[in-house]
Amino acid sequence: MLPLDFILYLQIIIFLFISPGTPRVVIISYSMNYGVGKCIWSAFGDVTANFIQAVLVVFVIGSFFSENSIILNIFKWVGVFYILYLAYDIYKSHPKNLTEKNIIKKSNLSFFKDGFLVAGTSPKAWMFFPFIFPQFIDFNSNLLTQFVILITSYIVLDFLSLIGYAMLAQKLIKWITVNPKTINTISASVLVIIAVIIVIAQQY
């Protein structure tokens, strides 16, 4: 049995994934600086955090987050400070040089951690999973089957969109080598703007 309004659900999440939110900004910058291969680990971190969020909302916590503004505010401010840290880290990093062999200073676990924390502390995600995700589940029928279909669709499409952004960024790498600090400055600035928007717009 398919979840309720499954096609509508797909349309919503596809729209979310093509929108350039914080995880995509981070993926683009990491692709420029470290290559697509390293972005796979960040993408895995992202979808792992989303899977945990979905499990907590549907099977453990339920409406806890929607009824406790303090918890949402904690996630909000942790996310804001981590986004600002990433903005600084990205701004200070050196873009990938096609003519030189890069020495990767970040481990795979570090890339995974960045993806996990960006998604795991995202107020946008904590709004989606408690408020939107459960709306497409009939809790009186085949809960596990519906959950598997919904979360698998989410994870696969999210992962593919993140890698798609990383591959698209690689198309610009030649231009970036001529303008080495441009993408870092733009990415860092966008992350700071996102952090400010979260502070102003996300009120619980």
For residue 107, tell me if it sits in a domain.
Answer: yes
> Residue 183 has what pLDDT?
66
What angle do the packed helices 22-34 and 182-201 form, to 10 degrees? 160
| Residue 157 belongs to some domain of the structure | yes
User: CA 129, CA 54: separation in Å to the nearest integer?
Assistant: 6
The rounded Cα 166 to chain-centroid distance in angstroms is 13
pLDDT score of 175 more than 60: yes
Assigned domain for 18 exists: no
Range of the domain at 79: 6-10+23-201
Q: Is residue 159 part of a domain?
A: yes
Q: Quick check: is 197 in a domain?
A: yes
Cβ neighbours around 90 below 10 Å, total: 24
pLDDT at 42 over 90: yes
> Worst-scoring range by mean pLDDT, 16-25, 58-67, 129-138?
58-67
Q: Are 88 and 153 in contact (CB under 8 A)?
A: no
| pLDDT tens per residue across span 152-173 | 999 999 999 999 999 988 877 6
**16 within some domain:** no
Residue 62 has which token pair? Answer: 């339920």
180, part of any domain? yes
Q: What is the spatial distance between Cα 204 and Cα 69, in angstroms, rounded to a whole number? A: 5
**158 is a domain residue:** yes
The chain-wide mean pLDDT, for the chain, equals 79
What is the tally of structural domains in the chain? Answer: 1
Mean of pLDDT values over 190-195: 76
In angstroms, the first-to-last Cα distance of the chain is: 35
